[in-house]
Amino acid sequence: MSKARKKPLVSIITASLNSEKTIEQTIQSVLNQTYKNIQYIIIDGLSTDRTNDVVAKYRKEIDIHISEKDNGLYHAFNKGISLAKGEIIGILNSDDFYDTNSIDKVVSAYETYGDKKIYFGNMGLIDEKSNLTGTRIINHNSYFFMRSGQSIPHPTVFVPKKIYTKFGVFDTSYKIAADYDLLFRYLFVNKIKYIYIESTLTFFRVGGVSSNFFPLAVENYKIRVDNNFSKIVSALYLLKSILFHVFSLTLKKIGLLALLNFYREKIIKSHKY
């Protein structure tokens, strides 16, 4: 009789910088997972508030905690990836948190589809008080949104370590959209298949560096061009993104949010609020 395969080790990486108000909820969401074979890594950028005091409360349950000056968020992610021993890696920001059984669901999909796929799910949107304000649901039947500048929600993404090793990690020359570059590159350049998990895996606190629309849209344009997409087509996608952003703000301002929700949910089927 053959032995049952040991459950895979999952590495979770949290990058933090002055996150004293939110990181405890992040940590608890990892430690309280129903799935237990987890390596937890926290890479801190030398916080000057009480972030590391909060982390210290859980030090016995955290496998690696480093606090030192780094070159930004994506450099911290790469540092964590280099330390990860798990077969599959998730990255959880220090102001976000997982649902209790998120990693169980990811591992179940991973055991079905293997280490040559990337895994992602839905993302809950929360306010400063952790109240749910909406859910981002990607249309997994079409990757048009990835070409146009919208992205698979990176906080829900789990990547096998073998893929990082073979195809590379975050390009730190991008300051606010290196996650988009990574997922874009994997999908369109390296032709890696994505597996959608029909569940809310991560809750994302709205705000942060990538919430500034126009710099993000411009960097997304540069990423498409750098990955050998036509400059003309990439410019058209940039224009589309800007027009839709202005259209969305206008509808919100005049109280027609329901129309915007209908467009998102029924027509482009990419996310809803």
Q: Considering the domain boundaries, does residue 219 fall inside one?
A: no
Q: Considering the domain boundaries, does residue 183 fall inside one?
A: yes
Structure tokens of 35? 């799935």
For all residues of the chain together, what is the average pLDDT? 89
Q: Considering the domain boundaries, does residue 5 fall inside one?
A: no
* pLDDT tens profile 179-221: 999 999 999 999 999 999 999 999 999 865 445 788 988 999 9
Q: Considering the domain boundaries, does residue 230 fall inside one?
A: no
What does the pLDDT average to over 259-271?
A: 60
Q: Residue 65 belongs to what domain range?
A: 10-210
Q: Considering the domain boundaries, does residue 23 fall inside one?
A: yes
CB 157 within 8 A of CB 120: yes
Quote the pLDDT of residue 256: 76
The answer, yes or no, to whether residue 150 has pLDDT greater than 80, is: no
Q: What is the CATH number of the domain that holds 157?
A: 3.90.550.10
Q: Considering the domain boundaries, does residue 250 fall inside one?
A: no
Count how many domains the chain has: 1
Q: Which residue has the higher pLDDT, 262 or 84?
A: 84
Q: Considering the domain boundaries, does residue 43 fall inside one?
A: yes
* pLDDT tens profile 167-176: 999 999 999 9
* pLDDT tens profile 227-243: 998 999 889 988 988 88
The answer, yes or no, to whether residue 266 has pLDDT greater than 80, is: no
CA-to-CA distance for 91 and 73, rounded, in angstroms? 11
Quote the pLDDT of residue 209: 47
- pTM comes to 0.90
CB 138 within 8 A of CB 196: yes
- Per DSSP, the three-state class of 57 is coil
Q: Considering the domain boundaries, does residue 249 fall inside one?
A: no
The answer, yes or no, to whether residue 254 has pLDDT greater than 90, is: no
